[in-house]
């Protein structure tokens, strides 16, 4: 599967997660999004291999901070989502109002980091989109 296909599916899933859907649909899309994120990271493994290599200028440092922020905020969103699940992971539910609040807050923070991530990778993304034509 091409990287751009995974990127487009992730984008659609994220948009769907922020609109009002029945909770079961939200949770199913969320689980699918987890797999897409894992696949996206796997497809971009060369980026992670390059982290300790080379010199860091300001742009590269900012990119790394954004990527780490995105990874941390997504991890918190995923964990808190699973812990506050009402349908899909009902047996793991330890959620309460605080866990639900953490899930909502971290998802908004993830969205902020995602926008920053898209801004820092926009040239690469636009090249991939042009290849589709």
Model confidence pLDDT, tens digit, residues 3-21: 888 988 999 999 999 998 9
Residue among 125, 127, 131, 130 nearest 7 (CA): 125
pTM (predicted TM-score): 0.85
Q: Structure tokens of 59?
A: 């742009």
Q: Name the residue range of residue 32's domain.
A: 3-45+56-131
Into how many domains does the chain fold? 1
Q: Say if 100 falls within a structural domain.
A: yes
Q: Say if 102 falls within a structural domain.
A: yes
Per-residue pLDDT tens digits for 62-111: 999 999 999 999 999 999 998 888 777 766 666 677 888 999 999 999 99
Residue among 112, 125, 118 nearest 74 (CA): 112
Q: Say if 50 falls within a structural domain.
A: no
Q: Say if 67 falls within a structural domain.
A: yes
Q: Say if 27 falls within a structural domain.
A: yes
DSSP state string for 37-77:
HHHHHHHTHHHHHHTTSS---HHHHHHHHHHHHHHHHHHHH
The CA distance from 133 to 41, in Å, is: 25
Q: Say if 80 falls within a structural domain.
A: yes
Sign of the alpha-carbon dihedral angle for 110, 78, 6, 39: positive
Q: Say if 15 falls within a structural domain.
A: yes
């Amino acid at each position: 599967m091409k990287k751009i296909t995974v990127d487009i599916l992730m984008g659609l899933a994220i948009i769907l997660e922020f609109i009002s859907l029945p909770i079961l649909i939200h949770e199913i899309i969320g689980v699918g999004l987890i797999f897409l994120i894992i696949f996206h990271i796997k497809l971009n493994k060369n980026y992670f291999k390059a982290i300790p290599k080379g010199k860091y200028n300001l742009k590269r440092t900012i990119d790394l901070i954004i990527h780490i922020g995105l990874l941390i905020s997504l991890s918190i969103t995923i964990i808190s989502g699973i812990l506050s699940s009402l349908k899909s992971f009902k047996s793991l539910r330890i959620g309460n109002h605080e866990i639900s609040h953490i899930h909502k807050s971290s998802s908004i923070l993830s969205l902020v980091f995602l926008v920053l991530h898209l801004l820092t990778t926009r040239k690469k993304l636009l090249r991939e989109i042009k290849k589709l034509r």
